[in-house]
Amino acid sequence: MSDDYTFEKRLADARIVYEGTHGLSTAELSKISGFAKAVVRRQSRAEDWTKSIRVGEQTPEAAAAQARLEEYQQEMAENAEHLADDSGLSKDAVDDTDAGEYDDVVTAPPMEIQTAAQTVLDKERLRETVLERHRKEWSAPRGLSAEALRLRDREPMKAFERAKLAKITAETLKLVQDGERQALGLDLVDQPKGIVAVVERT
């Protein structure tokens, strides 16, 4: 499903869910869709998302769109778990996590809102593209690890070499991917503004 369920399709489904679900907030939609709160809020303002249901709970179209989004989220979570199991790394090292939480409400003229939303969407598309490629790159150490398991009884020395290569490949891949995400600013989170006091308790 993830191959043809593009960023644009998921964003369109998010709008269907929001407009067709009575009482659903953008914060709740962020959890359902997996999009950062900033993306949901700014896109809803830029495209003027409007509730199409006044009574009841949810339209059939919104229910179907929500099911697709939840299936995608489940698939991504399972992929992250498989990658963590195969590589020996923690789930956080291969998981697709949000770049940060944005709780400030942006108030600006329509054109400025549109520009801000487009900037966020461009970064989100870049992030999706990079992370999708990163997921595919993990097939290399995963394949080496699987081969080592197949050979461990018949050819233990060859299995050891494959396992060692899988470990080296995984560690190198993690360093390269971490560096790429940092260089592109995809791992940056908003820092608190103003003075921050740190209290150490003994």
Is residue 63 located within the same domain as residue 129? no
H or E segment to which residue 134 belongs: helix 110-137
Res 6 pLDDT > 90: no
Q: What is the mean pLDDT of the chain?
A: 75
Residue 84: the pLDDT is: 54
Q: What is the pLDDT of residue 40?
A: 86
Residue 193 has pLDDT above 50, yes or no: no
> Which amino acid appears at position 137 of this protein?
E
Full 3-state SS string of 134-197: HHHHCHHHHHHHHHHHHHCCCCHHHHHHHHHHHHHHHHHHHHHHHHHHHHCCCCCCCCCCCCCC
Instruction: Tell me the per-residue pLDDT of 130-149, one tens digit each, with 9 for 90 and over.
Output: 888 888 888 888 988 999 99
For residue 18, being part of any structural domain is answered with: yes
What pLDDT, on a 0 to 100 scale, did the predictor assign at position 18? 92
Predicted local confidence at residue 17, as pLDDT: 93
Average of per-residue pLDDT across 106-120: 50
- Cα separation, 192 vs 140, in Å, equals 39
Instruction: Give the per-residue pLDDT at 61.
Output: 92
Tokens of 119: 């900037």
- Domain ranges, residue 170: 118-184
- Whether the CB-CB separation of 17 and 24 falls below 8 Å is answered with yes
pLDDT digits (tens, 9 = 90+) for 58-107: 899 999 999 998 888 888 777 666 655 555 555 555 444 444 433 333 33
What is the tens place of the pLDDT at every residue in 71-83? 888 887 776 666 5
Based on the fold, state whether residues 71 and 128 are members of the same structural domain: no
What's the total number of domains in the chain?
Answer: 2
Residue bearing the bigger pLDDT, 112 or 186: 186
Asked if residue 111 belongs to a domain, the reply is no
**Inside any domain, residue 64:** yes
d(CA 184, CA 93): 17
Shared domain for 124 and 77, answered yes or no, is no
Q: Is residue 94 part of a domain?
A: no
Last residue of a domain, one of 36, 59, 82: 82
What per-residue confidence (pLDDT) applies to 7?
Answer: 82
pLDDT of 104 reads: 39
**pTM here?**
0.46
- Residue 132 in domain: yes
pLDDT, tens digit (0-9, with 9 covering 90-100), for 9-37: 888 999 999 999 988 888 899 888 888 88
State pLDDT tens for residues 35-51: 888 888 888 888 889 88
Asked if the structure places residue 113 within a domain, the reply is: no
